[in-house]
Amino acid sequence: MKLSHVDQGGRARMVDVGGKEITVRTAVAEGAVRMSRQAYRLVAEHALEKGDVRAVSELAGTMAAKRTAELIPLCHPIGLEHVDVEATLDETLPGVRIRAAARAVGRTGVEMEALTAASVACLAVYDMVKSADRGLEIVTVRLLEKTGGTQGDWKRAGG
């Protein structure tokens, strides 16, 4: 197995996707922000000065997915067909869970777009809640599934 973004001399490079088949590509990623029970209550009651944590984090994640190639140096700019970011409250965490899905038709996958969306949505939650809880944790940012690539579909076991 070799890394796709490293040439024979060990230098970073953008992968040439010109010969790949154009297919529908999808990816789903998740993340979560764990917080104190007091901070969770403030989020659930929409009692934070900055506003609706869930709505802002969903917008931030969507915006981030569209700018992934500007943030991750070797990502290809792609035309996303759809991005869906959902922030849900989870009292058992306690905190906010993020699920981000991306879809495009093209020669390269959208895993980085889904992961970027989930990561930035978590960061937006962190930014909005940090004044109420200095001990916030962003946890479990990971890819759950992807479809449409040359290596076939993939789904995280137990995810």
28 CB-side CA count, 13 A: 11
Which positions ≥6 away from 156 have C-beta within 8 Å?
Answer: 142, 143, 144, 145
**95 close to 33: Cβ distance less than 8 angstroms:** yes
Residues taking part in catalysis: 127
Distance CA 122, CA 109 (A): 22
Distance CA 103, CA 28 (A): 9
Helix axes 111-129, 53-66, angle to 10 degrees: 150
